[in-house]
Structure 1
Amino acid sequence: MMHAHTNEGGPVASSSTGGGSGSASTEGKIRCIFLGEFDTTAGFKISCQVPENYISKEVFDAINVYIIPKPPLQRCNLTVNVMDVKIVGYPVGIQDQQKYTRNEFIFNLCFVCDSRSRSVQYEPVVKKLSEYLIMMEEESCFLSREDDKLRLQHIFETVLRDLNERKVATIVEGDNTIYLKIVMHKPDPPPVKDHMVPLLLANLRDTPLENWDLTTQQILPYINGINHVARIAAEADVETDLVKSCIQNLVYYGVVQLLPILKYSNVYMTQNLKHLIQSAALSNACRKYVALQPDKLLPSVQRIFQFYASMTHGVTLRAICQRLCPQHHNIDERKMVIFGLQHKFIRCIHKYPVFTGSVPSARQKMYTGLISFDEICCKTGLSPYTIEKDIEKDTNVTVIWK
């Protein structure tokens, strides 16, 4: 990314080919669309703007060097954030010695939004609409002829209205048609770690394998809400970092949800449990999902609710199973935990060991209070039982639950 700065208080411009303008905090509407030009007589000017005068002459005069920049910044997205507005453009120079007085026609189609609005989602639309206008200009001088400005204004009005209301717009000019669509970019999901457990969303479980990329095809049979990333990599014989990248991509597109490792020594806490009772569709889906033997009488909502309601601080999953015997009621406790985590009825209380002594061993160096018990197990390859016993005997280690 390239940055250009003016004097203190002046505009800041950023140029990118992949969305570097999006550090803002809110999603915002397009406030204005305008076409900036360099006229051989009048110099820098706005030749068409909707709504009219949204960008004042004073503001444009202050930033026109960024709207109509030098050739190295042409044909790439350029964003200027100044005076409470953010302007996303795609400056273009069309060379033609016969058509134009100075052998070149320079223009920039710009979208304007609020200065704190997120603008990265507009960059592909601005580029596509600019390329459409380039084609129209090369075919019929659509932009450089003054008598076509009313048609251009109508295009801007349609694009502004339809993109703000429906996020899609269709422009038809003669035999030329263009379809515009705003695609909202999600923030990158957090990094996937070895101890995390991916769960494929139920409605995608039956998607044919050939519809996925090769890495996903290899690891998909091992994604079951039980296996953690390191185990999936070992079982599928795929390099761990490749598995992490693949799963992170699936999380980004909402195909996979990440869960903590399911252990009988885990402690869970209930939250939003009323939703299970309030929604008949959700409670029926839960009964079917958690059934140990789906072909037999499904477990009752009351039994399931009792199981979830028993989850509280200091009570392990093992203790609950010993007291309530879920399998006697056709309940698979592992599926119940998975369903509860997936629908946020419960959350796992994680353990974080903290070493309080003076000279830590290699393993104790991981006891920082920032690395969870699950992650330590994965990194050391030791069983939870072994680590628990080690921590219980060590007077220099304190465990934080959170």
Structure 2
Amino acid sequence: MLTQESNLAGKEGIIRCIFLSEFHATAGSKITCQSPQNFISKHAFDLINAYILPKRELERQVLTVNTLGIKIVGYPVKIDHEKYARNAFYFNICFVCDHYCRSVQYEPIVKKLCEFLIMMEMQYSFLSNDEYRPRIQKMLNKIISDLNESKVCTITEEETSIHLKILKITDDPPEVFDHQVPVLKREFENMSLSECDLTTQQVLPFINGLHHVGKISMLADVENALVKSCIQNLVYYNFVELLPLFKYSNVYMCTRNLQKLARNQDFAQECLSYVALKNDQPIPTIYNVFQIYSQMTHGVNLKTLCIRLSPRQNNINERKLVDYGLKHSLIRCINKYPIFTGSIPNARQKMYNGMNHFDEICCATGLSTIKLEELIDADTNVTILMK
């Protein structure tokens, strides 16, 4: 039976506590303020204070401590000045969450908040003057409440304000393969090359929705691994999305998301404008677009559909129709996976393992799809799986 911890492991959790710690000249390390009160006991703090106010080598670095069933994210600071006892003031502002939850989204907030408090301390002795303690407590209460409730918080002290926001940390982008086709998202189609690194400047002109990654590497004269890394970076920042290689021999299948075309008028209008073949002609009708999508199924390739339904006579660009359908999951591509059933495979047949589909094999071997199909049709030791 799954526990709450296993269900939430690695996911974002709420902030359980925020506390301010400082090093007192006579009392040593202690918690000055925390919200909620007494969440971190004195006994628990005594066990971990060496990591809250650590040695100088770890100052002004985001540190995460996972112990005692909690995870603590802090940014230890030392301010050197002769006005302090021992000529220095040590403090740390820490966020506490459950030990099984992801905490990376709090790291920039903790650092920003500490930098703000450094400035407030240097100008107003905001941390070291006991008169400000009620205001600090009120500030911590507001931060934990606002961030947990709305993920944003604005703090104003004296004449200074600070805006805190929990940003969504996206997952790592998927691995990029040679056979995939990168497509620039519409809002970034006119991206300025001057704002990009050198590799991206070489690669970007060849991202046209037609060339697969392997071909882009060849055309740009850039090492394949660098091109993949570049495109993966563009995918991460949501500039680019990856689509299957467009071929008239491809088989597509509509999904349940197709009903969105009938139910969402704005979405349908966007689709019709996108798939139009010529802008100086009336835009396609939803009936014609829906008709093509709905007839995409096993055993029917795109070429057959185009012959049967003549999309261009209805001002429909079949390439854009497929692109739009894949981008919005209205359709999915059905791939062919060859499986070698003989005894001793040659170099090419070793790729027929049921894991590599036609596009992958073509990119790896340099064969065209037609040539590969001819070789497989003539090979009695190969079975095709479509999925």
Same fold (TM over 0.5): yes
**Deviation, structure 1 residue 395:** 2.4
Residue 29 of structure 1: which of 8, 14, 24 is its match? 14
**2:127 corresponding residue in structure 1:** 143
**1:297 corresponding residue in structure 2:** 282
**Deviation, structure 1 residue 269:** 1.1
**2:382 corresponding residue in structure 1:** 397
**2:350 corresponding residue in structure 1:** 365
Residue 354 of structure 1: which of 316, 339, 348 is its match? 339
**Deviation, structure 1 residue 334:** 1.4
Is the counterpart of residue 158 in structure 1 residue 142 in structure 2?
yes
What runs of 5+ residues in structure 2 fail to find an aligned partner? 1-7
TM-score (norm 1): 0.86
Is the counterpart of residue 73 in structure 1 residue 58 in structure 2?
yes
Is the counterpart of residue 380 in structure 1 residue 353 in structure 2?
no
Q: List per-residue Cα deviations over 1:220-248 (Å, max 9, x = no partner).
A: 34323222112223334444333322221
Is the counterpart of residue 51 in structure 1 residue 60 in structure 2?
no
Q: Partners of 2:52 and 2:198 in 1: how far apart?
A: 44
- Report runs of 4+ in structure 1 exceeding 6 Å deviation: none
Residue 229 of structure 1: which of 213, 227, 233 is its match? 213
Q: List per-residue Cα deviations over 1:88-144 (Å, max 9, x = no partner).
A: 1112233446521x4443322101122232210111111122122233334444323
Residue 107 of structure 1: which of 91, 116, 126 is its match? 91
- Which range moved further: 71-80 or 262-271? 71-80
Residue 323 of structure 2: which of 300, 323, 338 is its match? 338
Give the aligned residue type for 2:261: L
Give the aligned residue type for 1:81: N
**1:247 corresponding residue in structure 2:** 231
Residue 187 of structure 2: which of 189, 203, 207 is its match? 203
The alignment yields a C-alpha RMSD, in angstroms, of 2.4
Q: Partners of 2:113 and 2:269 in 1: how far apart?
A: 48
Q: List per-residue Cα deviations over 1:63-93 (Å, max 9, x = no partner).
A: 2232233333332111122344221111223
Residue 321 of structure 1: which of 276, 296, 306 is its match? 306
Give the aligned residue type for 2:263: Q
**Deviation, structure 1 residue 61:** 3.0
**Deviation, structure 1 residue 357:** 2.7
Q: Partners of 1:299 and 1:179 in 2: how far apart?
A: 47
- Distance change in 2, residues 1:199/1:58 (3 Å): same
**1:62 corresponding residue in structure 2:** 47
Residue 266 of structure 1: which of 250, 255, 278 is its match? 250
Q: List per-residue Cα deviations over 1:139-196 (Å, max 9, x = no partner).
A: 4443233222122222222322333344333333334443333332211101211111
Is the 1:299–1:329 Cα contact (8 Å) retained in structure 2?
A: yes
Q: Partners of 1:212 and 1:265 in 2: how far apart?
A: 36
- Distance change in 2, residues 1:44/1:211 (3 Å): closer
**1:41 corresponding residue in structure 2:** 26
Give the aligned residue type for 1:153: Q
Q: Partners of 1:295 and 1:235 in 2: how far apart?
A: 33
**Deviation, structure 1 residue 370:** 2.1
Q: Partners of 1:331 and 1:199 in 2: how far apart?
A: 20
Is the 1:24–1:119 Cα contact (8 Å) retained in structure 2?
A: no
**1:341 partner SS:** helix
Give the aligned residue type for 1:320: L
Give the aligned residue type for 2:345: P
Give the aligned residue type for 2:353: T
What runs of 5+ residues in structure 1 fail to find an aligned partner? 1-22
**1:76 partner SS:** coil
- Which range moved further: 269-278 or 55-64? 55-64
Is the 1:350–1:372 Cα contact (8 Å) retained in structure 2?
A: yes
The percent of aligned pairs where both chains have the same amino acid is 55
Give the aligned residue type for 2:142: T
Q: List per-residue Cα deviations over 1:261-291 (Å, max 9, x = no partner).
A: 0112211111021111112222222222222
Q: Partners of 1:175 and 1:291 in 2: how far apart?
A: 55
Give the aligned residue type for 2:246: L
**Deviation, structure 1 residue 208:** 4.8
